């Protein structure tokens, strides 16, 4: 893949009938069973390796394809596995091998972050096991708006397949599909296609903006043309949090262990194993909670992409401070807002992605000290500025500062310096020196897009902007 290409995903809703839904569920159950069975084998082999230090055992457990090579023998012992396409079963084994290797790297300190433990058994009832076809046009094909999935041949050695309608299949027209994953979320089936996408050439930089992320708003931005804009955080996040809290409270008062159920084998015979099933009321609240969480995620995603596209429609380069929320707020309310409602990290990811696919430029700058440093005379306030102080006067030059605006202006200076270091020369942009803020805007995301309004300050209207 060249540097002007990248892989992107297209997630489309499937519309299967009852029979096809049952078939897909059955395929997923078998993959889940295969994963757990191979995990049992891996645990036995792991213990044998600890006792004997046999290198051949290690090659099976800790190699990329060792567990996958056990599948042919497993199919002979359990013929029902043959009804699943070989590519899908293979990737169930590879998923387990990847989890084991991730555990090993974490254990040996070769992976950043907290320690990753040994893989656990998967519960199909809790998490539907996705069906992954990893090679182009192998095991699946598209005809008009129909997705045809190849299944295993079964014991009869006859080719089997199912066909399901894809909603908005026209989005796949003339796309080079690399692989396909079938997932199920809240009772709905989706096809996630990975396609190759050509990227535009990086465009020359003529308009630059710097963003200062914070919790009072999503971010506060300034550009070199005398514009400042405050991007309002979504107010509906508080409503969702309140609703989610209510659902969690009601769910947790229900019985999680209500009824003991026997585990059945493939022939519907008990195998002397049981599990606890939650009450109907618990399952009802849990399902409603999952829907609320998914709706919150989807609306947040739409919100962030709407803002990002608007920014890159106006500017060629966006710089954002490297601040990351860590939940160390002064009050419980503030800490919760920082932990649960902050969209800063996701906002940076969305900005980076939209920049790549639109040929624009994005990077993070070091924002240490930008809030307490005067952008005019560079005077630094010792000890910093407390969060509740939104405006302050510089003791060095007497300039009145809006807290976030001053930080963003310092960020803009840092953006210009970084661009100069990267290119070897000062960027040739209009108004590349810091200008006085002449227009202040308020950005709010509405169903129709981003709505921008001029703000008033000191009871005087700010001049109209060319944006």
Q: What is the pLDDT of residues 145-190, one digit of tens each?
A: 999 999 987 666 677 899 999 999 999 988 899 999 999 998 899 9
Check whether 42 has a pLDDT greater than 90: yes
Q: What is the pLDDT of residues 343-394, one digit of tens each?
A: 898 999 999 999 998 999 998 999 888 989 998 888 999 888 888 888 889 9
pLDDT band for position 74 (50/70/90)? very high
Q: CA-CA distance, 79 to 43, in Å (whole number)? A: 23
Two tokens, residue 445: 């995301």
For the purposes of burial, counting CB atoms within 10 Å of the CB of 352, is it exposed (0-12), middle (13-18) or buried (19 or more)? Answer: middle
Check whether 429 has a pLDDT greater than 50: no
Which of 28, 90, 29, 26 has the alpha carbon at shortest distance from 64?
A: 90
Specify the length of the chain in residues.
467
Angle, nearest 10°, between helix axes 86-107 and 55-62? Answer: 110
pLDDT band for position 460 (50/70/90)? very low
CA distances from 367 to 11, 212, 316, 388 (A): 36, 8, 21, 19
What average pLDDT does the structure give for the chain? 86
pLDDT confidence of residue 156 = 67
pLDDT band for position 195 (50/70/90)? very high
pLDDT-above-70 percentage for the chain: 89
Q: Integer distance in angstroms from the first to the last C-alpha of the chain? A: 38
pLDDT confidence of residue 47 = 92
- Nearest-Å Rg of the Cα atoms of the chain is 28
Check whether 135 has a pLDDT greater than 80: yes
pLDDT confidence of residue 162 = 94
Check whether 14 has a pLDDT greater than 90: yes
Number of Cβ within 10 Å of residue 36's Cβ equals 18
Entry pTM: 0.79
Are 149 and 164 spatial neighbours (Cβ–Cβ below 8 Å)?
A: yes
Check whether 425 has a pLDDT greater than 60: no
Q: Strand 176-185 vs strand 188-198: parallel, antiparallel, or unpaired?
A: antiparallel
pLDDT confidence of residue 146 = 94
pLDDT confidence of residue 420 = 82
pLDDT confidence of residue 169 = 92
For the purposes of burial, counting CB atoms within 10 Å of the CB of 222, is it exposed (0-12), middle (13-18) or buried (19 or more)? Answer: buried
Two tokens, residue 432: 């590349």
pLDDT confidence of residue 334 = 64
Two tokens, residue 117: 């433990």
């Amino acid at each position: 893949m060249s540097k002007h290409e990248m892989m992107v995903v297209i997630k489309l809703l499937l519309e299967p009938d009852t029979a096809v839904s049952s078939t897909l569920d059955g395929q997923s159950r078998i993959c889940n069973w295969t994963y757990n069975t191979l995990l049992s084998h891996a645990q036995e082999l792991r213990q044998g390796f600890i006792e004997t230090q046999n290198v051949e055992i290690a090659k099976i457990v800790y190699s990329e394809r060792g567990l996958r090579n056990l599948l042919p023998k497993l199919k002979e012992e359990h013929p029902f596995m043959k009804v699943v396409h070989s590519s899908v079963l293979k990737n169930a084994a590879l998923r387990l091998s990847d989890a084991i290797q991730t555990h090993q790297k974490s254990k040996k300190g070769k992976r950043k972050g907290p320690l990753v433990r040994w893989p656990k058994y998967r519960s199909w009832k809790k998490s539907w096991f996705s069906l992954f076809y990893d090679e182009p046009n192998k095991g699946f094909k598209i005809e008009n708006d129909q997705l045809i999935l190849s299944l295993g041949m079964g014991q009869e050695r006859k080719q089997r397949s199912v066909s399901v309608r894809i909603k908005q299949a026209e989005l796949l027209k003339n796309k080079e599909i690399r692989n396909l994953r079938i997932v199920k979320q809240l009772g709905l089936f989706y096809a996630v296609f990975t396609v190759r996408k050509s990227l535009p050439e990086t465009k020359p930089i003529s308009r630059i903006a710097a963003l200062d992320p914070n919790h009072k708003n999503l971010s506060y931005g300034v550009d070199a043309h005398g514009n400042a804009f405050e991007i309002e955080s979504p107010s509906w996040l508080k409503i969702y949090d309140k609703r989610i809290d209510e659902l969690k409270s009601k769910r947790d008062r229900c019985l999680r262990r209500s009824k003991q159920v026997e585990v059945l084998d493939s022939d519907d015979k008990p195998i002397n194993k049981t599990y606890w099933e939650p009450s109907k009321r618990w399952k009802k609240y849990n399902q409603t909670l999952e829907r609320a969480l998914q709706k919150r995620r989807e609306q947040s995603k739409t919100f962030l992409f709407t803002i990002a596209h608007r920014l890159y429609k106006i500017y060629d380069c966006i710089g954002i401070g490297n601040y990351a929320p860590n939940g160390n707020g002064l009050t419980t309310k503030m800490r919760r807002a920082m932990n649960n409602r902050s969209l800063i990290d996701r906002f940076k990811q969305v900005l980076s992605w939209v920049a790549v696919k639109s040929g624009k430029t994005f990077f993070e700058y070091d924002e240490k000290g930008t809030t307490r440093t005067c952008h005019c005379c560079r005077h630094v306030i010792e000890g910093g500025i407390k969060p509740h102080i939104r405006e302050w006067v510089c003791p060095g030059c007497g300039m009145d500062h809006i807290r976030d605006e001053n930080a963003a202006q310092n960020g803009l200076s840092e953006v210009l310096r970084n661009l100069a270091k990267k290119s070897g020369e000062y960027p040739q942009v209009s108004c590349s020196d810091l200008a006085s803020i002449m227009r202040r805007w308020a950005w709010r995301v509405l169903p129709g897009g981003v709505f921008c309004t001029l703000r008033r300050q000191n009871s005087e209207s700010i001049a109209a902007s060319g944006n």
